Amino acid sequence: MRAKDSARLSTIRLILAGIKQREVDERIQLTDADVLSVLEKMIKQRRESITQFEKASRQDLADKEKAEVDILAGYLPKQMSDAEVQKEIDSVISETGAAGAKDMGKVMAALKPRLAGKADMGKVSGLVKSRLAG
């Protein structure tokens, strides 16, 4: 507030409101992992909005959403590199004994807690799918 950074302040207020809303809806106290999932969901929503705004030639709104994504991403853990993600995928595949596309759910279930907040799960899903298909 004192820095007069209104964009950051409004985004932080959105984060707090999202966390509070989930706590009230589910009548629970959110854990760190739950807060990460709230942040990831907010980022995903904004990325979808950016796509829609750009299709509608509303660059001003897209830029606002991009700024919010940057602020939200600052509250997530450091993102893993592609090589680190691939290494995790390989280790989970060998641990679970996954052999084909039918085992994708098992692999993703094991990866989700390991990579939560550290990697884009949509991208991870694509990597797992290509790894199991090939």
pTM for the whole structure: 0.75
Q: What is the pLDDT of residue 119?
A: 87
Q: What is the pLDDT of residue 118?
A: 87
What is the band of 1 on the pLDDT scale with cuts at 50, 70, 90? Answer: low
**Are 20 and 45 contained in the same domain?**
yes
Tens digits of residue pLDDT in 77-92 = 888 998 999 999 999 9
- What total number of domains does the chain contain? 2
Buried-state track 63-75, b at ≥16 Cβ within 10 A, e below 16: ebbbebbebbeee
Chosen domain end from 25, 51, 73 = 73
Q: What is the pLDDT of residue 86?
A: 92
Tens digits of residue pLDDT in 64-121 = 999 999 999 999 888 899 899 999 999 999 998 888 888 899 999 999 888 888 888 8
The answer to whether the CB of 47 falls within 8 A of the CB of 69 is: yes
**Are 66 and 90 contained in the same domain?**
no
The CATH number that applies at residue 43 is 1.10.1510.10
Chosen domain end from 73, 90, 123 = 73
**Are 51 and 89 contained in the same domain?**
no
Domain, as residue range, for 113: 82-133
**Are 57 and 87 contained in the same domain?**
no
**Are 67 and 87 contained in the same domain?**
no
Type of residue at 53: F
